[in-house]
Structure 1
Amino acid sequence: MKKTLWLLLALLPGWAWADPLTLTGQVVEAGSLRPLAGISVFVVERDDLYAITLSEGMFTLVLPEPGIYHLSAMGLGYAKPEPVTVQTGSGAPLRIVLKAEAQVLPEVVIKEDRDPVRVGKISLEGRQMEAVAGTQGDPLKGLQSMPGVAVGNDASSNPAIRGSAPRDNLYYLDFMPVAYMFHFGGLTSILPADMVDDFNLYLAAFGPQFGDAMGGVIDTVQRNPRTDRVGVKLNLGMYESDVLIEGPTVEGQSFFLSGRRSYIDFLMNKVRDKISNDQVEIREFPAFYDYQFKYLVDLDERNQIAFHLMGANDWMKIIIPPTSDAAINDPGIGGNLESDQLFDNQGITWRTRLEGGGANRFALGHLHTGTGFVIGGGDYLDIQANDYFIRDEATLHPGKGHELLVGGLVSRWSNTVNFNIGAPPGGDFVAGSLYGTAPKAQRSLDLTGNAWNLYLRDRWQASPRTALIVGVRAATDSYINQVLTEPRLGAEYRLTPSTVLTAGWGYYHQIPQGHEIVDGLGNPNLNYQRAEHRVIGLEQDFGNGWTSKLEGYEKLLRDLPVPDATLNYVNGGSGRIRGMDWLLKRDGAEWNGWLSLTRATSQRTNAATGESFKFSYDQPWIATLVGTWKIDEQWTLGAKWRYHAGSPITPVVGTTTDPGTGQVLPVYGPIGSEILPDYHRLDLRLDRDIAHSTYNIKWYLEILNLYNRKNIGGYRYTAGYASREPSYELPILPSFGIQAEF
């Protein structure tokens, strides 16, 4: 990736001539003032007089005699700057500032270091994904441009991975579990854009170190704090802003502290009465905040300890008037509708480099989650959950060609659950239901238990062409009190230096959702949900920056909870997901991007009724085209076009009347029997990066849904189900963001 720089010479304190013939100084980056290592500083008149900057950007040049010299600098990917004149014996401190042109979007699949296994995985860097058009600078929102990923609507970026629901995913951050990764189920992620170092997206057949989930895994790593000086970043977006402070404290120790708060509620609350209508009355606009703190201590060359604090909170409050269409159709929801969701995470991680190239990771932490919900005339739900955990994982090399991964987790959990609420609808296996007609239950529960898991994986490089992966995971939770031992296998075969075949297989399980398994609403005697993953793939490097990844897959699901008239739920559901994903990518100096295609089907079957139907996230065709063009050293233009076939919905096909209350009740058609119109949308993005000697300014402008496609996300029924009106996704909408770094 080619960069252009210019050279500034600043006379600043801290750098001096150690003696008349020795020149010392520092090379830093314009704007951020980060030290630049590996830069060659040399005398123009004597190309044999040069020095290479070290880790803190420092260099020392030994000169043969006093006089005037002309200095220049160069490094890989940098253009040669104009020479700078210096004079020996002047006593002036020296700092060289290098200015680089704007970055372009690098290649998408770039890292295999944290987990060498290739099957079912895409490895990404945060800075790559935050530049994708339509993401508003949020790297995790860029996941929806990857193959095999579906989303429910424009307001949600929570990924449904290869035919599973978003609730079937697992999220990790810096080796520790996280309650959720997206505000309001998908509006934006809980991490500011430039806090994400990289993340691995596991689409299927993931290894035994992850569990327990039937969908996918998003394993995210935050970057480390800067170590050269204290710096500040300010971000202002369309509906939120954040501030980041980071830098060193003492030698070998550094920190960052970040906080973010949405502010659209402050702006809109002043006009909420004008926005409210006879269908909904807004009391508090949706709002959120999140925070991250990391303190890093380098104990020695082999040991590093990090202290972590992070959390998030989302809340909103509206009133559904009793005369609104929604309340007339379902009187049980008329009144207040409030939600409050939060989590706080505290932890310590310890990383150790072992002899022989191995490593060990240890985590000790506490995760608190809270969920509050009020609906109708005072029905409520309040859950406060605490999980204390210890996790350890070692990577060893016991023999030639073997990489052994061994680890486990022990946790102690306690949940306080209070509710007086109607039973939630039967989920995926019910055509539709009304909250007001659901039986109500009231409970105050204090639940405690233990959970543990152990896992082992051996990746054996059997030959220069062949790698075999054998793993096993044993896990249990005292709530269900059953130990499951699940094998997981994989293989990689290099047909040619540029062609690799991959395959993966494994068993997986997942605990049912809370309302399905808690006393009063669900069935405490439910068993685990189970899944089998099968994947086969082909990776190809065509050269000149072109690569391809093709995978076919099948997921078989069983023991899914389905409604039961006597026990509330039983393990009577199954599912089959089949599909193929293709990612074609081009990485270049001036333009790059990718095309992702998915062809898949996702089906569920209720054994009790014999009914089979399309899953709500079944989008048989998904296509995404992403491109980025570097116009010049400051300007970058990007675009993303996304298409997917319409999602299935369950329509109201008629009505009946309750003879006791006179309420008009809907008659639903078969589950998933209507398909929404196809969805497509084009987003554009323009970035500018302005680097000054002591600060950087970056801004972007996006236009979402450029050609104003009226995508239908569902339908809203009028009172008595007399008619229905389409609910549209986002119209054409501008978005912006600006970042200042000091």
Structure 2
Amino acid sequence: MKTLASVLCLLVATGALAQVPDDAGTLDAGVPTGVLTKPPVLARQVEAAYPPEAAAQQLEGTVVMFIDISETGAVTNVEVTQPAGHGFDEAAVEAVKQFEFTPAEVDNVPAPVRIQYAYQFVFRPAPPPEAADGGAATPEGPVNFSGQALERGTRKPLNGAEVVLPELDLSTVADAEGRFSFRGVPTGTHEVLVVVGGYDRFRTKETISEGQQTRATYYVQRRIFSPYETVVRSDRERKEVSQTTLQVAEVQRIPGTQGDTLKVVQNLPGVARPAFNGGQLIIRGSSPQESGVFLDGQRIPLLYHFGGLTSVYNSELLEAVDYLPGNFSAYFGDLTGGVINVRSREPRMDRLHATVGVNLIESNAVIEGPITETLGFAVAGRRSYIDLVLGLVPEGDSGPNLQVAPRYYDAQLKLVWKPLSRHTFTLQGITSRDRLGLVFERPTANDPTINGSLDVTTGFNQLRLRHQYRADALTLDTHALVGNTLIEFTLGERGLRIASTDVNLRSTAEYAFGDALTWAGGVDVTSSFARVTARIQSPPREGEPPNPTVTEEILDTDGDFLQYFPSLWTELRWRPVKGLLVVPGVRAESYIFTEQTRPRRTLNPRLAVRYALTEALTLKGGAGVYHGPPVQDEPSVGFGNPDLRAKRSLQYGLGAEWQVRPEWFVSGEVFYNDLDGLITRSNATVERDGEQVPERLKNGGVGRIYGLEVLVRRALTDRLFGWISYTLSRSERRDTPESGWRLFDNDQTHVLTAIASYKLPAGWEVGARMRFASGNPNTPVIGSVRDDGSDVFIPLYAAVNSRRLPSFNQLDIRVDKNFIFDKWALNVYLDLTNAYNNPAVEGIAYNYNYTESAFFEGLPILPVLGAKGSF
């Protein structure tokens, strides 16, 4: 009899708000990356005594436990999560407490971690006496039995798997490639046992022949299958006051998202529910265009395809998504709202991998792998086919007909070259395109000018070149981007076309003077050269209820426009005493537009502080100045005013984080944003080139946003994860000094989201998402007057946003089934959005003279059936 201890460190993801090193590299987004760069390795193992009771009954068992390992590699705590009884638990804990590890590293810095460890007890009968034919193994003999242990479905090498010949009392441990070998195994048929923590025991028999070498490949089934690695937690400071990081392994199967990682951002604290569950990001009561979406620290024009159906970047190529609702560092700028930074991962270099996904809306595919030992590639593509499905539906006899349904595609190509250990070169290409077309057979009742056809096209292409240099103290990152963006809109005889060329450059440097002080700074330049052709009515601005467009002035423009935003930033990360992190920073920004009489410049000082009162409780706070330049048509003569100033937001936040247990995390924060310089309508005229021209827009508005955010999170473990997020907030505006305060168009007092996902035996997984949100403000119609010139009724409105639409509530359910084969895996899922068929009220529709009205509802129950295969 002998104890078999199988070593496997399954790193437990503690999820969104796990603390990562404050002095980690900021190459990806000016924030610590929190990447596990070196796992803990067992350096000293102590064999547990086999319990006499279990030995007498020839019992076997597996004890699953959490092990806390310090930054020095010492075991500080052991907690049994799946007991085996019969004395196995006590024996395993006593042995594991004496283990020693080489420390784990996060961003190349030693860090404390929690791992999941399975201690395997295998009963081995006493070996039989040596046979007369020389049946005993000869350790000095030639290798006559070898093979490889791989994870079933992913073919991942099982480093540390123990391969046992129980009858012969022989065992060996697989190397990093999962390979093992035995010497001098006697001829005959022998039982083979492969034992790995977290995996089912693999039993088989092999026949050893005289003078021949037997080779075998064993595919071992993981108990709870997941194609993704989980992520280590490090209990050290970070510099961002309010940052949530979503790991792909946690969010691929959240109900209602169809496996799209980026759509999960809409379930976090501070994010309001967008109309029609669309793609707008409304963060802490700010307008969607005031928040920025970044990919590896560089802006992308769009995050979602039409209607928010899916994101423009394939989730299979993501490492994580960083969400910063406010008080972000000086690395980011030109924004008064929040930040979404998407971090792409490097291609896998062990072998060729592929993933193909198909559902009722779209199909996508990903291929990645090594080209050489230092060069890897990843290519992905996606195409929707809603237009093909709806094209089979017969046209009706009335109402608008679909000529071209929403159609979109996107593709990504990434090459990563590491010629030297400290240098990484990345070339990335991205393309995305959407098109929507409608035909109106006759004018609408409310507006006779809306007829003919509607055609909308959006898209962009980007080519990115990046160089990263990492040394012991110095880190450099230079990221250049060139691309183009297209926005094209046609409605009858009206239309808008913007075709721009975009050139961006970001260069960042960071230097650690020691453990107590790190400096970071850089240059950030974005520029856009656009050709704009337009003949449209000016659309309603925020806070303005819609009127029939027949009453609006038609505006024309045809010309070239420049937007050029150079910025410089710097910050310090100072740790004067243990547990305290102080991050002062400043960002200088400039805004230059075509036809502008003089450039605009802003200075943005910022301060963030974190203090760990105890190992479990951390206080955090921040204050800063943030500016956002005019956007879209606002800085043009034809539609706005090129001499507009930047909008300003003074942001304040104060909160706390409580790590109740390693897998449980609670965060709370109160915030206040003071806004001024908001852009509003103007009926005045100004002098330009010696002539009086309409001012159209001015910096005349102010605003205030305040609220509370709470997040309770259960980290990803083998089976269960989820979170509850709640936001209580109010966002108000005042358009002129004489007007009163009114609600922001997208103000939502309460937003509550609860998410849970649980992995069942036999490859099943179930999840649910419950959402509640206050209804958006609405400006009610109190009457109408007939316009004799156009024969259209003009609505009369009550006070702006003086009522609310009914509240929103919805349940989404997802069921997954994993089929695991030796060399590939198949996931089949049903994603049921709006499970109890409660369509959301998205607005109010009126008849031609506004005497009758009805709620305008969103989508009913939506089942999406899909499958994804990978190898």
TM value normalised by structure 2: 0.78
Structure 2 partner of 1:437: 551
Structure 2 partner of 1:9: none
Contact 2:198/2:222 (<8 A) preserved: no
Structure 2 partner of 1:553: 671
**Over 6 Å off, 4+ runs:** 1-6, 45-48, 104-115
Match of 1:255 among 377, 387, 398: 377
Structure 2 letter corresponding to 1:388: V
Structure 2 letter corresponding to 1:229: R
3-state DSSP of counterpart to 1:309? strand
**Deviation sequence 1:167-200 (CA, Å, 0-9, x none):** 2211111232211110125222112332221011
Match of 2:842 among 703, 713, 718: 713
Matches within 5 A, 1:376-525: 376=492, 378-425=493-540, 427-448=541-562, 450-479=564-593, 481-525=599-643
Contact 1:646/1:676 (<8 A) preserved: yes
> 1: distance between equivalents of 2:735 and 2:183?
82
Relative distance call for 1:713 and 1:496 in structure 2 (3 A) is same
3-state DSSP of counterpart to 1:340? strand
Structure 2 partner of 1:696: 825
Single out whichever of 673-682 and 427-436 deviates more from structure 2.
427-436
Per the TM alignment, residue 52 of structure 1 is displaced from its structure 2 partner at its CA by 4.3
Per the TM alignment, residue 609 of structure 1 is displaced from its structure 2 partner at its CA by 4.2
Relative distance call for 1:324 and 1:420 in structure 2 (3 A) is closer
Per the TM alignment, residue 80 of structure 1 is displaced from its structure 2 partner at its CA by 3.7
3-state DSSP of counterpart to 1:593? strand
Answer yes or no: is 1:129 the counterpart of 2:242. Answer: no
> 2: distance between equivalents of 1:66 and 1:155?
66
Contact 2:160/2:173 (<8 A) preserved: no
Answer yes or no: is 1:351 the counterpart of 2:479. Answer: no
3-state DSSP of counterpart to 1:265? helix
Structure 2 partner of 1:204: 326
- Relative CO higher for 1 or 2, CA cutoff 8 Å, sep ≥ 6? 1
> 2: distance between equivalents of 1:362 and 1:42?
51
Relative distance call for 1:44 and 1:308 in structure 2 (3 A) is farther
Contact 1:441/1:521 (<8 A) preserved: yes
> 1: distance between equivalents of 2:625 and 2:412?
35
> 2: distance between equivalents of 1:82 and 1:195?
36
Per the TM alignment, residue 411 of structure 1 is displaced from its structure 2 partner at its CA by 4.0
> 2: distance between equivalents of 1:268 and 1:596?
37
Matches within 5 A, 1:325-344: 325=445, 329-344=446-461
Structure 1 partner of 2:790: 661
Per the TM alignment, residue 565 of structure 1 is displaced from its structure 2 partner at its CA by 1.4
Contact 1:383/1:418 (<8 A) preserved: yes
Structure 2 letter corresponding to 1:369: T
Match of 2:708 among 580, 587, 601: 580
**Gap runs ≥5 in structure 2:** 1-11, 13-63, 65-115, 121-139, 685-694
Structure 2 letter corresponding to 1:279: G
Relative distance call for 1:288 and 1:684 in structure 2 (3 A) is same
Relative distance call for 1:675 and 1:130 in structure 2 (3 A) is same
Per the TM alignment, residue 711 of structure 1 is displaced from its structure 2 partner at its CA by 2.5
Matches within 5 A, 1:537-552: 537-543=655-661, 545-552=663-670
Contact 1:363/1:391 (<8 A) preserved: yes
**Deviation sequence 1:311-355 (CA, Å, 0-9, x none):** 111111112344432xxx223333321110000111112222212
Match of 1:306 among 426, 436, 448: 426
Per the TM alignment, residue 662 of structure 1 is displaced from its structure 2 partner at its CA by 3.3
Per the TM alignment, residue 432 of structure 1 is displaced from its structure 2 partner at its CA by 3.0
Identity, in percent, stands at 27
Structure 2 partner of 1:100: 222
> 2: distance between equivalents of 1:611 and 1:34?
63
Relative distance call for 1:519 and 1:583 in structure 2 (3 A) is same
3-state DSSP of counterpart to 1:462? coil
Matches within 5 A, 1:188-199: 188-199=310-321
Single out whichever of 329-338 and 590-599 deviates more from structure 2.
329-338
Single out whichever of 298-307 and 499-508 deviates more from structure 2.
298-307
Match of 1:180 among 260, 283, 302: 302
Per the TM alignment, residue 621 of structure 1 is displaced from its structure 2 partner at its CA by 0.6
> 1: distance between equivalents of 2:747 and 2:453?
33
Structure 1 letter corresponding to 2:292: L
Structure 1 partner of 2:47: none
Between Structure 1 and Structure 2, whose CA radius of gyration is higher? 2
Single out whichever of 37-46 and 663-672 deviates more from structure 2.
37-46
Relative distance call for 1:483 and 1:382 in structure 2 (3 A) is same
Contact 2:731/2:744 (<8 A) preserved: yes
Contact 2:237/2:579 (<8 A) preserved: no
Relative distance call for 1:160 and 1:39 in structure 2 (3 A) is farther
Matches within 5 A, 1:1-40: 20-21=142-143, 25-40=147-162
Single out whichever of 575-584 and 236-245 deviates more from structure 2.
236-245
**Deviation sequence 1:373-396 (CA, Å, 0-9, x none):** 1123x1111101111122112232
Question: Aligned pair count?
Answer: 722
Contact 2:201/2:220 (<8 A) preserved: no
Answer yes or no: is 1:362 the counterpart of 2:447. Answer: no
**Gap runs ≥5 in structure 1:** 7-17
Structure 1 partner of 2:488: 372
> 2: distance between equivalents of 1:113 and 1:496?
11
Structure 2 partner of 1:615: 744
Answer yes or no: is 1:291 the counterpart of 2:415. Answer: no
Per the TM alignment, residue 593 of structure 1 is displaced from its structure 2 partner at its CA by 1.6
> 1: distance between equivalents of 2:702 and 2:212?
80
3-state DSSP of counterpart to 1:496? coil
Structure 2 partner of 1:154: 276
> 1: distance between equivalents of 2:679 and 2:868?
47
Structure 2 letter corresponding to 1:308: Q
3-state DSSP of counterpart to 1:497? coil
Structure 1 letter corresponding to 2:453: N
Per the TM alignment, residue 523 of structure 1 is displaced from its structure 2 partner at its CA by 0.9
Relative distance call for 1:291 and 1:105 in structure 2 (3 A) is closer
Relative distance call for 1:513 and 1:126 in structure 2 (3 A) is same
3-state DSSP of counterpart to 1:617? coil
